[in-house]
Amino acid sequence: MEKTFGNEEKNLNVQELIAKNKSTVSFGNYVEKLIPKALLLIATISILTTLGIIITLLTETIEFFKDVPFVEFFTGTVLKPLGQNAQFGVLPLLAGTFISSGIAMIVAIPIGLMTAIYLSEYASDKVRRFLKPMLEILAGIPTIVYGFFALTFVTPLLRSFIPALEPTNILSPGIVMGIMIIPMVASLSEDAMSSVPNSMREGALALGATKLEVTWRVVVPAAISGIVASFVLGISRAIGETMIVTIASGSTKNFGFDVTQSMQTMTAYIVEVTGGDAPAGSTLYYSLYAVAMTLFVFTLIMNLIARYISRKFREEY
């Protein structure tokens, strides 16, 4: 009797364990089925947000072009959004945007590339672990701080060398934007060069090449897709910069190429209109969306170019 009772108790415990395991497995299966749906929902939200932005920009931009001809907007050299005879030519904003971005890349590309070469090819592990985080601190500084730095430090410094430089100009914010973009160019380029196998370096060194020759003739060509992609992404970042140019470049809508003068970029114009007294439904109000759509298209083109370059010239090892 005792043995039979013991067997029954043992069978009961086994049955309880099986039932418990079944409940745990069923809960685990439920979670496994739920996770893909949750991830799909999150991805869908991102896509819908992007579509919402595009639809909003397109809808309001179409309203703008009902009042202003498409050709006049993209070929006009005068931007006077206020007054009875308002003119909406976007070329002054495009000139300011591309000039400031060009100055930024003139600063960021050589410094960022040389920094990446040093970190990848010459720096020791200890130095690299110290310098790379310090370099990336620049990327964490708020852009409004960069703007005040350009206005209160860089501009007075440049005026001591260039007396004709205006208090607000396009040169100073362009230089500061280049300083801000250096971490992006350096980090992405260093990652691309670090991915080049050491066997290629060792083979070149075994053939008698110097360290400098290995860097410029082996490593840089092998990592060229990542390096060029970092340049294009840097340009895209410069085109979309807002606070630096808003604070330091001024609001004069000049169409020209004199970097000592005050000029306005597309992002600065958007800030000006949104912060002003543009009545909803007016042409001035809709011009905000037309400029924003133009900026969106240029940024999208830059990102597509970066993706194309990465795929076209990528080397797989």
User: Whose CA is closest to 243, among 123, 146, 126?
Assistant: 146
Q: With pLDDT > 90 as the criterion, what percentage of the chain qualifies? A: 14
Residue 239 and residue 294 in contact, taking contact as beta carbons nearer than 8 Å: no
Tell me how long the chain is: 317
> Stretch 288-305: mean pLDDT, rounded?
87
DSSP labels, 157-178:
HHHTT-TT--SS-SHHHHHHHH
Strand pairing report for 79-80 and 87-88: antiparallel
The count of C-alpha atoms lying within 13 angstroms of the C-alpha of 162, restricted to the half-sphere facing its C-beta, is: 16
> Is 223 a residue whose pLDDT tops 50?
yes
pLDDT score at 5: 44
User: Whose CA is closest to 239, among 258, 263, 270, 267?
Assistant: 267
Between 230 and 314, the higher pLDDT residue:
230
> Stretch 199-210: mean pLDDT, rounded?
85
Amino acid in position 74: F
Q: 180 burial class (0-12, 13-18, 19+ CB within 10 angstroms)?
A: buried
**In angstroms, rounded to a whole number, what is the distance separating the alpha carbons of residues 287 and 304?**
26
pLDDT score at 268: 87
Between 99 and 258, the higher pLDDT residue:
99
User: Whose CA is closest to 268, among 115, 181, 143?
Assistant: 143
> In which band, very low, low, confident or very high, does the pLDDT at 14 lie, cut at 50, 70 and 90?
low
Residue 233 and residue 188 in contact, taking contact as beta carbons nearer than 8 Å: yes
> Stretch 136-164: mean pLDDT, rounded?
88
pLDDT score at 173: 92
> Stretch 272-288: mean pLDDT, rounded?
79
pLDDT score at 178: 92
pLDDT score at 27: 59
> Stretch 116-126: mean pLDDT, rounded?
87
> Is 302 a residue whose pLDDT tops 50?
yes
**In angstroms, rounded to a whole number, what is the distance separating the alpha carbons of residues 265 and 239?**
9
> In which band, very low, low, confident or very high, does the pLDDT at 76 lie, cut at 50, 70 and 90?
confident
Q: Over the stretch 98-113, which tens digit does the pLDDT of each residue have?
A: 999 999 999 999 999 9
> In which band, very low, low, confident or very high, does the pLDDT at 69 lie, cut at 50, 70 and 90?
confident
Model-level pTM? 0.81
Helices (H), 118-241: 125-140, 143-149, 155-159, 171-194, 198-206, 211-214, 220-222, 224-239
Q: Over the stretch 154-199, which tens digit does the pLDDT of each residue have?
A: 999 998 888 888 888 899 999 999 999 999 899 889 888 888 888 8
pLDDT score at 2: 47
The tokens for 122 are 């010459």
**In angstroms, rounded to a whole number, what is the distance separating the alpha carbons of residues 201 and 183?**
25
Residue 200 and residue 230 in contact, taking contact as beta carbons nearer than 8 Å: no
Comparing 12-16, 117-121, 165-169, 307-311, which segment has the lowest mean pLDDT?
A: 12-16
